[in-house]
Amino acid sequence: MTLLALVLLVACLSAAPTSEPVTLTPGEHRLTIEGQERRYLVHVPAAFAPEAPPLAVLVLHGGGGSAGQMTRTGLEEFGDRYGFAVVYPEGVPQPLAPQNHNWNAGNCDGIIGISCGGPAFERGIDDVAYFRALLAELRAAGIRRVFVAGISNGGMMAHRVGCALADEIDGIAAIEGALALPSAEGDSVVLCQPGRPLDVLIIHATNDENIPYDGGSGRCSTPGRVYPSVDYAVSEWRRFNSCAATETEVYRSGIATCVEWSCEAGTAVRLCRIDPPADSEIGGHSWPGSDRTCKSGCPCTPARDLDASAMIADFARRSR
């Protein structure tokens, strides 16, 4: 080999992208927070996306759900296709129904004065501490980027994680979930104070009777709970992110429309509105694009005009 060829070979090797080993393992994992054992499930792709920091998309169940329930969202298919892990955290079990789990996503007292908290809130569970510990485990396993998505109570918790741990994640997606902060908790008020701009995706149906689009209480809401509106969440995240005033339509199909605002640090706030006709069972309190069968008596048949999992995958991959 000539001296010139040797120099070129060294230069090429020096320029080649390097990747840190990822030791994240699939299956069930457990950690202990405040003396209580908590679990999460992990799906790992055959290979992480080359030339990109390893990404994990966290998927949060709704109130009364479980980690296993969320494996049916279809996000694993996108994780395998695009090379990111999918992680399913789990809330605390309800005392009288341990198969059902909830998140302490806040109480809404700072907004409305009426509780929208649930069992985990009432027990004072520190779910921010749980996510801080979970993120530390993911980082120790080689994950460098995290996107947090959830539905209903899980969507509310995604908002809270974004508010409290913005320095440790890259973006959030809330499906049919309100921003439940400020929250009156004990002798203090918990505010939404993100440490940096985040990518924020909000997907909500206008006929959701569980967590109404316009706020308040719907005919399918838990008695006594009143929620902030979607417009409140959008305006707060636009304010936190110092977004531009002009919105741009980025998606339209049938009853689904998405608009987006460009924000600081290359981030964006996107609102996807599912707007079914009056008295429709389509949309409501559901994960758009999923094949879930709805039998609740409330609007909750998933809309087919938007695939929430596909949009979350795209949004997460573009985040820093």
List the beta strands (DSSP E) in 44-141.
55-60, 85-89, 92-94, 97-102
76 Cβ contact list (under 8 Å, min separation 6): 43, 86
The confidence score (pLDDT) of residue 186 equals 87
Distance between CA atoms of residues 33 and 15, nearest Å: 43
pTM (2 d.p.):
0.92
**Would you list the domain boundaries of the chain?**
21-318
Q: Choose which CATH entry (3.40.50.1820, 2.60.420.10, 3.30.300.30, 1.20.1250.20) describes domain 21-318.
A: 3.40.50.1820
274, 105, 100: which is closest to 183 by C-alpha? 105
User: pLDDT of the chain along its 320 residues, tens only?
Assistant: 454 444 334 344 333 344 578 999 999 999 999 899 999 999 999 999 998 999 999 999 999 999 999 999 999 999 999 999 999 999 999 888 889 999 999 998 777 666 899 899 999 999 999 999 999 999 999 999 999 999 999 999 999 999 999 999 999 999 999 999 999 998 899 999 999 999 999 999 999 999 999 999 999 999 989 999 999 999 999 999 999 999 999 999 999 999 999 999 999 999 999 999 999 999 999 999 998 777 778 999 999 999 999 999 999 998 65
Q: Does residue 167 contact residue 195 with C-beta atoms inside 8 Å?
A: yes
Strands 248-253 and 183-185 come out as unpaired
The confidence score (pLDDT) of residue 217 equals 94
